[in-house]
Amino acid sequence: MFPTSLNALSSFAAAARHQSYTLAAAELHITHSAVSQQIRNLENSLGLTLFVRQGRQMQLTAAGVALQQQIQPALTQIRRALSELGKSHEAPAIKVSTLPSFATYWLVPRLNKFQKLQPGVAVRIHASLEIHDLERSSIDIAIRYGLGNWADCEAEKFLEDRIFPVCSPNFNKGKLPNNINNLKRYRLLCDDCPLEWDTWSKLAGLDSASFKHETYFSDSNLMLAAAIAGQGIAIGRSSLVSADIAAGRLVRLFDVIAPSEYAYYMVTASGKKKSPTVLAFELWLRREALLFEKKDKRK
């Protein structure tokens, strides 16, 4: 007689993924002994050994590997079906994950436009530096900055960026550098993408290795806040600094503008059906990005 308990199969799938009963229990919010008992019952029902202990890890046997490969697609489909069923009885909503800097400087200032177009849709912005597992999280769509090569995801580029040095107009008591070759004399501010300084420097004919005075920040929000406070010269993405330049809080240095190697992408779980709300949000993002790029390139 084969088992019919989805709990046992879910416990097995989690333990197989983590190679640990303890981590599986934490993911499922049950006890270690409950996971162990469910897997033991599953093994007894099948008459097979699914795990063997090796040190601190629970290693899959050949039978365990075969079972994992067979049930994982089915469990994923069940999870999606239950999620969609639950959403069908709720008011339309969309949960968007993005970098704090992009949320602060680009997305949130424009979000009221989407809400006017879709007044009945609740928008939940989750700002984080962490890359979430879109298959297993409640995130509907992620906005990521990179090369578009994330595993198990569908990624569509919607916004390219340009990079250039920026600083406060009051930096160095208002005596701003007017010679690119003198840039190495000043304190440079870097975020979590320090390669952007390398990209711009190469186009400007500089050796970025000659930059000696640098301060690093884990997030662009912090880097730009330091630049506005007059603490140094930051490498700015046009998407993040355009508003501050227009408001006079930052100024662009020099005429050299480099295309960024990275871009912003709309990212969703591979193969996951998109709701009408997600499709509407993607369409709005494309239109806003196009408007921004046209305006930005005229500057």
Q: Is the full-model pTM beyond 0.75? A: no
- How many CB atoms lie under 10 A from the CB of residue 224? 25
pLDDT, position 132: 67
Is residue 204 a contact partner of residue 254, using CB atoms and an 8 Å limit? Answer: yes
Given this model, what pLDDT does residue 249 score? 97
- Pairwise CA distance, residues 114 & 42, whole Å: 49
pLDDT in tens, 67-116: 888 888 888 777 777 666 655 555 578 999 999 999 999 999 999 999 99
The tens digit of pLDDT for each residue in 122-162 reads: 999 999 877 766 776 788 999 999 998 888 889 999 999 99
What is the rounded CA–CA span in Å between residue 264 and residue 76? 28
Residue 91's pLDDT is what?
58
- At residue 191, the 3 state secondary structure works out as coil
What local confidence, expressed as pLDDT, does residue 88 receive?
52
Domain locations in the chain? 6-88, 93-159+262-297, 161-260
For the cut 50, the answer to whether the pLDDT of residue 221 exceeds it is yes
Identify which of 133, 127, 155 has the alpha carbon closest to the alpha carbon of residue 268. 155
34-75 confidence digits (pLDDT tens) = 888 998 888 888 888 988 988 778 889 999 888 888 888 888
Q: Which of 120-134, 171-185, 247-261 has the highest mean pLDDT?
A: 247-261
CATH 3.40.190.10 fits 93-159+262-297, yes or no: yes
Angle at which helix 32-46 crosses helix 21-28, to 10 degrees, equals 110
Q: What b-and-e string marks burial along 107-127, b requiring 16 or more CB atoms within 10 Å of the CB?
A: beeebeebeeebeebebeeeb
- Same topology, domains 93-159+262-297 and 161-260? Answer is yes
3-state secondary structure 46-97: HCCCCEEEECCEEEECHHHHHHHHHHHHHHHHHHHHHHHHHHHCCCCEEEEE
* CATH architecture label of 6-88: Orthogonal Bundle (1.10)
CATH architecture of 161-260: 3-Layer(aba) Sandwich (3.40)
